[in-house]
A and B are shown apart, each in its own frame.
Chain A
Amino acid sequence: MSGSPPAEAEHHLGPVGQVPLGEGRIFDVDGWAVAVFRPRAGGVLAVDPVCPHRGGPLADGLVGGTLVVCPLHGWTFDLASGCRVGGPEAVASHDVRVEAGQIILSRLAVSSGPGGD
């Protein structure tokens, strides 16, 4: 669940159907964990899976629009930017897309918000 894969690498995570519509799932990419979400509005979004508040499992959170709510204490993050709503914290967000029904994590972006890691 830790360590960093090479930057700019492309990872094929498999069929988009592995993530149910409106939910998130954690992918283990050679020991590195990333939470991939499928908002009902379309597309996929990816962030680091651990809430910076108390370590809550973000992939188990409720999704609305592009926001996810941590199931432990309700911290809310924008999945596109990784930024917390109503606070300066952030989780790292990652570029991800769907091509021909396959999820492609195309590169590891650096967190776009202050306080991220």
Chain B
Amino acid sequence: MLAGAEDAKEIFLNPLAWYRDNDITLRVGVRATEVDTYARKVFADDGSVVAYDKLLLATGSRPFVPPIEGLSDADGNLKAGAFAFRTIDDCNAMRAHAAQPRRVVVLGGGLLGLEAARALKEHVAEVHVVHGTSTLMNQQLDSEAGAILKAGVEKLGVQVHLEKRTVAVLGDGQVTGITFSDGTGIDTDLLVVATGIRPRVDLARGAGLAVQRGIVVDDQLRSVDDPDVYAVGECVEHRGLVYGLVAPLWEMAAVLADHLTGANPTAAYRGSKLATKLKVAGLEVAVMGLKEPEQPGDEFVRVSEPTRGRYKTIVARDGRLVGATLLGDLSRVAFLTQAFDRGTALPDERLALLFDLGGPPEAVSTAELPDDVQVCNCNGVTKGAIRACVAGGTATIKGVMEATRAGTGCGSCKALVADVVGWAAGGAVEDDPSSSWYVAGVPLGKAELVAAVRAQGLRSVSSVFAALAGGVEHAPSKPGLASLLKVVWAAEYEDERDARFVNDRVHANVQNDGTFSVVPSIPGGITTSDQLRRIAEVADRYQVPMIKLTGGQRIDLLGVKKDDLPRVWSDLGMPSGYAYGKTMRTVKTCVGIEFCRFGLGESTTLGLQIEDRFKGLESPAKMKLAVAGCPRNCSEAMVKDVGVVAIEGGRWEIYVGGAAGASVRKGDVLATVDSHEEVVRLSGRFLQYYREEARYLERTYDFVPRVGIEHLRAVVVEDAEGVAARLDLALEASVDAYHDPWLEAAEPRTPNQFSPAIEVGS
């Protein structure tokens, strides 16, 4: 129930029908006069008594009327012509009172007073603001900002009187003027009191509840004296603070609702971070948190342009934004508000906080992106579409991805999608337990899944569904499980063909028209005239619509019909290049010292050696490798999953986690070694660790930064965890399990494996 609201208007946040429809008894015009917390009863001025189980006090605040001689009478009523100001609506009432006021004086140069002055200036010729201290809005602004604000206010024609203490309101029964402590004064018959608000606490105090500046509540918004009495809004004092803005009220109300309804018994309100954005006297102002540094280590950046009416400061503590003031130029306010609200780490270039220096870091600029910006470039999903989806009630990242398809294409925008969802949900993103699962269809993380698979001896995908997913098959999870089982069991893996994506069933890459592309293995990109002739003959024989050189230095035959695949492979007489699988794909090479005049190492020899060893190696996502014969990096080794670069002195740098696809990332140096054998050994050990630890479809460019290059060096190079020997052995088993899938041309593994259609006569 609502208690103590004086004016029916205050209740009409909702239409009357809403109360009725929601089974809420609304008693308008009834004033609660007393609360008996022992009897659990509320007494009202109409003589009625209401019993309660839980009581919520939302008595709000009242304008503060300073003790100035002649301002109010003994009963606290303001002298005729004086008005207390809370909202713009109050201004309207004042204007109605004095039909054509010529002059008005506003007491108080804070937020309220300046808002009142601006609103009044539109209708009243002469507006004065009287403020007790030397700085307008001194609660929020430092003196320099206050001076700029004052200039802006004066430009509007408002006269500002600073450091004036009002000691008397003149007039007998009707305001005629005010007098200051220095003896001067202003004649006026309209006086607006905007000197702040005070929590309305009479009811609570009368009930014996703890009241200091406001009703003292705990983190569950309960009175510290009575757990059955709650209070929210401007009437409460929480952790020593009283709030006078609406945002904290919403935050309190959300916690209250969760707690009271039992939806989340642990819900806690821990105070609000205040960020205010308003237009004062035509000047845009945004303030949040601290206005000045408070502790010795606090950073303070200030840019003051008084003649341009601009002023900007930030206060940072431990690399986080703890306060900011913007005057006149609010172009960075969204970015700063987000950084302030979330406590995100600030960019090193502090000035980038205050000026657009050519693009802020992606992660913190989410709020600033316009609605029509395309977040997911694969599926054409805009920021606005994601915002609408969240507004429609979808609160998990996965839910939004499923509903909008954002992030479900190449996946490179997933982090941005998550940011936008977080921003749209105001941080209220629901935890999606499945986000930590290895695949969506089995409720286990990778480590638990591997443990369960090992413990229960689950060697096939169907047995995993049966044992670990309640027998419920989930189609998109099948290839991920197959990949994992193959890594765990190597040759002991029980291959079920239906668990494979079509590419892996027919060992070719499905194209947009249902045909396939065929890429034979050309290790290191080194071919022969004989191979080229055979490829040309096959292309002619099977009328291949396109022959294309790939980025991995191979030859792609595109548009091959499914039933031609076995014959194409046989006629080629070359092994599969695995250009379709979540496997090691190719090792790209440059010619190194064999031919290149700059070459420092035998890159082709090493490339061939690596490709032969890792060919067809199953992995969480595809792996593209390269070897460069010198740091000119012609084979792009520094942006490969594993790249090896020859450097002077007969040594090789091993880069891991590079990418030049949907994401671009230069790899991190795992180690610098001095022999081919060492390159093969360490890169293999890294690959095995990646195979075992990475999430399904997690490329090395996500995996490496996730686990950290230092950790990888420790495990792979220094063997800090003592797993190196086991990793080497496990890799060896997988290498030994290699077979050329194109040999299935001679003996298909499933009925009609390559049939486009089974003919049936009727």
Residues of chain A at the chain B interface (Cβ within 8 Å): 1, 5, 9, 11-14, 17-23, 25-30, 33, 39-41, 54-57, 60-65, 67-69, 71-72, 74, 76, 86
Our pick among A29, A55, A64, A74 for the contact of B762 (Cβ within 8 Å) is A29
Whether the pair A69, B510 counts as a contact (CB closer than 8 A) is no
Whether the pair B510, A64 counts as a contact (CB closer than 8 A) is no
Is B474 engaged at the interface, CB distance under 8 Å to the other chain? yes
A contact residues around B752 at 8 Å (CB): 18-20, 25
Whether the pair B757, A33 counts as a contact (CB closer than 8 A) is yes
B contact residues around A40 at 8 Å (CB): 462, 473, 498
**Within B486-513, which residues are at the interface with A (CB < 8 Å)?**
496-499, 501-503, 505, 510, 512-513
- Distance from A79 Cβ to chain B, minimum over Cβ atoms (Å): 11
A contact residues around B473 at 8 Å (CB): 39-41, 63-65
Q: B477-489, CB under 8 A of A: which get 1 and which 0?
A: 1110000000000
Whether the pair A20, B758 counts as a contact (CB closer than 8 A) is no
Is B196 engaged at the interface, CB distance under 8 Å to the other chain? no
Is B472 engaged at the interface, CB distance under 8 Å to the other chain? yes
**Within B337-379, which residues are at the interface with A (CB < 8 Å)?**
none
Is B45 engaged at the interface, CB distance under 8 Å to the other chain? no
Our pick among B502, B512, B513, B760 for the contact of A27 (Cβ within 8 Å) is B760
| 14 pairs from A and B in contact (CB 8 Å cutoff) | A1-B757, A20-B750, A23-B505, A25-B757, A25-B758, A26-B757, A28-B758, A54-B512, A55-B514, A62-B479, A62-B499, A63-B498, A65-B473, A71-B502
Whether the pair A26, B498 counts as a contact (CB closer than 8 A) is no
> In the assembly, what is the distance between CA of A54 and CA of B514, in Å?
10
Whether the pair B510, A27 counts as a contact (CB closer than 8 A) is no
Whether the pair A20, B497 counts as a contact (CB closer than 8 A) is yes
Whether the pair A86, B496 counts as a contact (CB closer than 8 A) is no
A contact residues around B758 at 8 Å (CB): 13-14, 18, 25-28
Is B402 engaged at the interface, CB distance under 8 Å to the other chain? yes
Whether the pair B759, A28 counts as a contact (CB closer than 8 A) is yes
Would you list the 10 A-B pairs with minimal beta carbon distance, nearest first? A22-B498, A64-B475, A60-B502, A20-B750, A28-B757, A64-B473, A62-B475, A26-B757, A57-B514, A71-B502
Whether the pair B498, A23 counts as a contact (CB closer than 8 A) is yes
Whether the pair B760, A13 counts as a contact (CB closer than 8 A) is yes
B contact residues around A33 at 8 Å (CB): 757
> In the assembly, what is the distance between CA of A76 and CA of B475, in Å?
10
Given A18-B752, A74-B476, also A64-B441 (CB < 8 A):
yes
- Distance from A3 Cβ to chain B, minimum over Cβ atoms (Å): 13
**Within B738-762, which residues are at the interface with A (CB < 8 Å)?**
750-753, 755-762
5 additional A-B pairs beyond A22-B496, A60-B502, beta carbons within 8 Å, are: A19-B751, A20-B497, A55-B512, A61-B475, A64-B478
A contact residues around B72 at 8 Å (CB): none
> In the assembly, what is the distance between CA of A18 and CA of B512, in Å?
26
Is B408 engaged at the interface, CB distance under 8 Å to the other chain? yes
> In the assembly, what is the distance between CA of A39 and CA of B462, in Å?
12
> In the assembly, what is the distance between CA of A39 and CA of B510, in Å?
22
**Within B382-411, which residues are at the interface with A (CB < 8 Å)?**
402-403, 408
- Distance from B699 Cβ to chain A, minimum over Cβ atoms (Å): 19
> In the assembly, what is the distance between CA of A54 and CA of B379, in Å?
13
A contact residues around B750 at 8 Å (CB): 20, 23
Whether the pair B475, A69 counts as a contact (CB closer than 8 A) is yes
Among A23, A25, A56: residue with most chain B CB under 10 A: A23
> In the assembly, what is the distance between CA of A52 and CA of B477, in Å?
23
Our pick among A5, A12, A39, A64 for the contact of B477 (Cβ within 8 Å) is A64
A contact residues around B761 at 8 Å (CB): 30
Whether the pair A62, B476 counts as a contact (CB closer than 8 A) is yes
B contact residues around A9 at 8 Å (CB): 762
Our pick among B472, B501, B762 for the contact of A71 (Cβ within 8 Å) is B501
> In the assembly, what is the distance between CA of A98 and CA of B512, in Å?
33
> In the assembly, what is the distance between CA of A63 and CA of B462, in Å?
12
B contact residues around A14 at 8 Å (CB): 758, 760
Whether the pair A60, B755 counts as a contact (CB closer than 8 A) is no
Whether the pair B760, A11 counts as a contact (CB closer than 8 A) is yes
B contact residues around A72 at 8 Å (CB): 510, 512
- Distance from A47 Cβ to chain B, minimum over Cβ atoms (Å): 15
Closest to B441 in A: A64
B contact residues around A67 at 8 Å (CB): 475
- Distance from B479 Cβ to chain A, minimum over Cβ atoms (Å): 7
> In the assembly, what is the distance between CA of A11 and CA of B510, in Å?
30
Our pick among A22, A27, A54, A64 for the contact of B474 (Cβ within 8 Å) is A64
Whether the pair A5, B755 counts as a contact (CB closer than 8 A) is no
Closest to B761 in A: A30
A contact residues around B477 at 8 Å (CB): 64
Whether the pair B762, A30 counts as a contact (CB closer than 8 A) is yes
Whether the pair A21, B498 counts as a contact (CB closer than 8 A) is yes
Closest to B503 in A: A71
> In the assembly, what is the distance between CA of A21 and CA of B514, in Å?
22
A contact residues around B503 at 8 Å (CB): 71
B contact residues around A41 at 8 Å (CB): 473
B contact residues around A60 at 8 Å (CB): 502, 505, 510, 514
A contact residues around B478 at 8 Å (CB): 62, 64
Whether the pair B751, A20 counts as a contact (CB closer than 8 A) is yes
Whether the pair B755, A86 counts as a contact (CB closer than 8 A) is no
> In the assembly, what is the distance between CA of A69 and CA of B755, in Å?
20
